[in-house]
Each structure stands twice: as C-alpha cells, then as structure tokens.
Amino acid sequence: MSIELNHVAEGPEDAPVVVLSNSLGSDLRMWEPQVKPLVEHGFRVIRYDTRGHGASPVPPGPYRIDDLGGDVLTLLDRLGVASAHFAGLSLGGMTGLWLAAHAPGRVRGLVLCCTSARPGNRQMWLDRAAKVRADGMAEIADGSLGRWFTPAWVEAHPGEAARLRDMTAAT
C-alpha cells in the first residue's frame, strides 16, 4: 500500500519535472547541491524522503521495492505529474529501475547512480539491519561516509561531511 511521502517541489510548475530519490540512510537533503542548477536549467525539481527516511512515515515493514515505486507513482499522481525524469542514488536508483520496468510511460529519462537490480549479499543486509535496530543509525553513519567518500574529500569538506553524517545518523 502506497503512503504519502514527505517532499519538496521547487521551480516553475509548468517546467519539465525531475524527481530525485535518496539513498538508503539519507533523506531529501542529500540532493540540496543539485537543486539550484537544475532549476536554473529550466526544471521543476521534486525531492522526496523514501518511506522510513527523513520526515516520511514509517509504516510497519517489511518494505518491498514495489512499495517504494508505488509511493513515487502516488506522489506523482497527487502532484498532477504525468511523467518525469528520474534520478536515484543507490536505493533511489533501484526505485528508478522499478519505475522504468513497471511504469515506463511515466519515466521520461533515467539517471541511476551506484545502484543495481540486486542489492548484494542478503546476510550482510540482515546483519546491518540488526545492528541499526540494536544501536541506531548513528553507529553506522561514519562507516557510510567512509564508503561514500574518500578520506581526502571528507578532510577537504568538513562541513558537508558533518551535514551528511548527521543526516544519516538521524534517519
């Protein structure tokens, strides 16, 4: 069952739409650096928090990719968007793959970053989920930064790194 996602829409209402979908453990704030350039290039940008992330609801799980894709279709319907370009990172990219396969008429273009159709070793994800349930997201936030960025980038961008770490810890 689809849910009402927290979202932010920016840019002209009559412009072509770009939907930005967050990675696991992040929220719509991860896309802040991309919003202004996209709007300046004539797009309406819709960012949303995937269910269980940011300010979106956390319905009882487990969640399936069909749920995440259905949530996006519900959001587009609520906003009166017939079709959109879609960009997703990691889990967001998996959502984009689902949309392209199950609702191809709704997807005008697709950008998939650091994603796959199969998310890897099941046991690794079960172990990570158990750790988060036991200790919270803050316990894995630093490890996430280490997977996403080089030490040199983190050192050169301490403010941005702290913002992203805090975002992950708060999810």
In order along the chain (171 residues), what is the average pLDDT of each group of 10 residues? 93 98 94 98 98 93 94 98 98 97 98 86 76 76 79 91 82 79
Quick one: pLDDT at residue 76? 98
Quick one: pLDDT at residue 70? 97
Quick one: which H or E segment has residue 48?
Answer: strand 44-48
Q: Given 3.40.50.300, 3.90.1310.10, 3.40.50.1820, 3.40.50.620, which CATH number is that of 1-119?
A: 3.40.50.1820
Distance CA 37, CA 59 (A): 34
Quick one: pLDDT at residue 139? 72
Quick one: pLDDT at residue 88? 98
Quick one: pLDDT at residue 134? 82
Distance CA 37, CA 106 (A): 23
| Residue 38, CA distances (Å) to 16, 74, 123, 140, 152 in order | 10, 23, 38, 31, 27
**3-class SS at 117?**
coil
Where do the structural domains in the chain lie, given as residue ranges? 1-119, 120-171
Closest to 84 in 3D by CA, of 107, 54, 68: 107
